[in-house]
A and B are shown apart, each in its own frame.
Chain A
Amino acid sequence: MNKVMSNKWIIALYVLPGLLLISVLIFIPLILSAYYGLMKWDGIGAMEFIGLENYINAIQDAKFWESAFHSFLLALFSTLSLVIYLAISIILASKIKGSDILRKIYLIPMLLSSVAIAQLWIKIFNPSNGMLNSILLGLGVENPPAWLAEPSIVLYAIFIPILWQYAGFYILIYYAALKNIPESLIEAARIDGATPFQIAYKIKLPLIMGVVKVTIVLAIVGSLKYFDLIYVMTGGGPNGASEVMASYMYKLAFASNDFGYGSAIGFLLLIITLIVTVIVRKATATKEEIQY
């Protein structure tokens, strides 16, 4: 085996299929979309080179920044919700009754497709027949809001299913990480008289910090490029109140027939996500890595 791996040609050969695939599917389209961003193009007819006009327009486009703001809000909420997921995982990972079945229940939303989730929540949010408003009416709330129709509420209403959708995923990751902590460490802390809260905060959390950092990056990047539920549930409406960067890009390219501008927005989306990722990695970097 070592002999095979020491041959550079063999290594190259092994890497080649993956590299080819990733180039064809990711890197080449990426460069192409940056290039299309330089064009005035309706996606159908001939292209016309217009230089950086699309990019300059995008930077001055109030609607784009509004959608970017919505994306960042989503990123903020997803990151904050990680705390809740972590707390749930710590409870699940301690030996409580039924933690096995609870863990599976939390995972169910992840097994559903986004469109199914969207349909489910559209029904829940229905202003006159929906489950949510029926419960509110039953509780005596007069005139409960039309969740997906009011510009001031719609964004937060959609955040709920989005966060719900991914809760199971993060709980699963945290759970696995917590299960990896050697029992002896916790046992030792307990003998020294640490409270369960101290154990969680001073022992468990630092030990899985590496995983936590990864989930923060995942949550932020995932939020910034988020698309599915927004597209199905409101299409970015009413009048852009729930628009995020990806849905705005889609709308420009496919509904307004402006592929050049849409590509430019898409490329900016990539740049923004890249910058944020770098910042987050820098901000959460620690010199010492705690080992067990």
Chain B
Amino acid sequence: MKIKKAFATMFVTFASVLLVAGCSSSDDNANKDGKKTVEFMHLWPEGSSKQHNKIVSDIIMDFEEENPDVKIDLEVLSNEQYKDKLKVLSTSNELPDVGMTWAAGFLEPYVNGDKFATLDDILEEDLKDSFVSGTAEAYEIDGDTYGLPLELNIATVFYNKAIFDEYDLKEPETFEELEKVVKTLNDNGVAPIALGNKDRWTGSLWYMYLADRIGGVEVLNNAIDRSGSFEDPALIEAAEKVQNLVDMDAFVKGFNGLSDEEAKSMFMSEQAAMYLIATWDLPNYTTNEDVPQEFRDSVDYFNFPTVDDKGDMNSFVGGPGVGLFVAEDSDVKDEAKDFASFFVQEWGEKSVTDAGVIPATKVDGESLDLPQMYVDVLDDLNAASNITLFADVQMSADVAQVHLDMIQSLFGEDSTPEDFAKEHEDALSTEE
């Protein structure tokens, strides 16, 4: 009997120890050997973003070599999981010292909650004048900058030259020409445009471009920042044009149930002729060795066409993608800032040569041997008259959800263009 009692006591003790150990915090930033640990979280897992992932590892290695007393503690998650985890960590005040964030609407609650540190000091010293204008500004709230942009993207329509040649088609420069291309392709049984509208921001790109071409560069921005209205005739007309395209079967079948990945794979397996996506996809059409050379050679891109002779083909939808933040309550803020600054500088070089994506820092295109399409995109960027930030990034999270849901509903023809505009107007005006 005594033995059993002893066992029971032991078990209880053991269980309590486990429980207590589980609750105690384990993040001591100073190791025994005097090394400081900077926690870093990013969203480019090896499986889906091989080149990005490798560059990050290289940068970390270089940084640790130059700063032997600092150790980088890495955590990698994929995009959606990353967003969720970041939110949960910030709720419990355990943000990593350095991590990735998006601009504008995503950033705002973190800044208002004092979670992110201002990075003005880095911007004024190490990184002075190194960013393309407009990129770092997207991370600015009330005059302070809270993120260091890594990427710069513009959305363009990629198309399959082989398919276009087969049916004797040209790059469309007007919406009518685009409609003709769509019609010819449909007549020949080729799906014209790959669109994965389950993810919703993909459809938003189409809408934004139509709004930009029809109403000019300011009308959508004004509707969002409330100096204008979403029930502007141009914004309603853009929604009508979207439904025209849907009526023509311009998009692949069942697009509202397909993810962007599925749409991309349709384009890349030559089942669809066109695909509107941002330039983060450039490597797939230029340097990515996993994609057959033949396909890469047959892809080109054109700027979104004008609509009814309105709009400027050098105006783009796009903007900075992810940027780095430093946590406000980090114990190793100085080291974290050093790392962030180091990261941005090395990223600026390596992302061009190794990944073939466009960094937010200025690129010296002349001195490097770059794929032709990459050079073309750089030229377009230099010639850009305007870059409108992605609508769902501009808006606050709440309104962005309304926007994204309404995009799906507009493309699915569940809402009329007027309802589409009204729902936006309602959501935006309750926020004022």
Contacts and interface: CB of A to CB of B under 8 A. Distances in A.
A256 B198 contact: no
Given A4-B5, A20-B19, A44-B109, A237 B84 contact: no
Contacts of A128: 191, 252-254, 266, 271
B342 interface: no
B157 interface: no
Given A44-B91, A239-B409, A254-B87, A127 B257 contact: yes
Given A238-B409, A257-B397, A149 B257 contact: yes
B408 A238 contact: yes
Given A45-B112, A238-B408, A4 B1 contact: yes
A244 B200 CA distance: 19
Interface stretch (A9-17, A86-94, A175-183, A203-211): A9-17
Contact of A256 (B12, B262, B398): B398
A239 B412 contact: yes
Contacts of A24: 19
Interface in B1-40: 1, 4-5, 8-9, 11-12, 15-16, 19
B109 A14 contact: no
Interface footprint category on A: 35 or more
A42 B271 CA distance: 42
B133 interface: no
Nearest to B90: A44
Contacts of A258: 397-398
A44 B112 CA distance: 8
Interface string B89-128: 0110000000000000000011011110000000000000
B380 interface: no
B83 interface: yes
Given A4-B1, A17-B19, A147-B257, A257 B405 contact: no
A257 B406 contact: no
Contacts of B334: none
Contacts of B397: 42, 255-258
B298 interface: no
Contact of B412 (A20, A235, A238): A238
A14 B8 contact: yes
A46 interface: yes
A255 B408 contact: no
Contacts of B11: 17
A146 B198 contact: no
Interface string A4-41: 10000010011011001100100000000000000000
Contacts of B8: 4, 10, 13-14
A216 interface: no
Nearest to B253: A127
B1 A45 contact: no
A267 interface: no
A151 B412 contact: yes
Contacts of A127: 252-254, 257-258
Nearest to B83: A254
Interface centre among B19, B110, B257 (most CB of A within 10 A): B257
Contacts of B405: 237, 239-240
A149 B1 contact: no
Given A128-B252, A146-B254, A146-B257, 7 more contacts: A4-B1, A4-B5, A10-B8, A127-B257, A237-B256, A239-B405, A239-B406
17 contacts: A1-B1, A4-B1, A4-B8, A10-B5, A13-B8, A13-B12, A17-B11, A122-B262, A127-B253, A148-B198, A148-B254, A149-B412, A238-B197, A238-B257, A238-B408, A239-B409, A251-B401
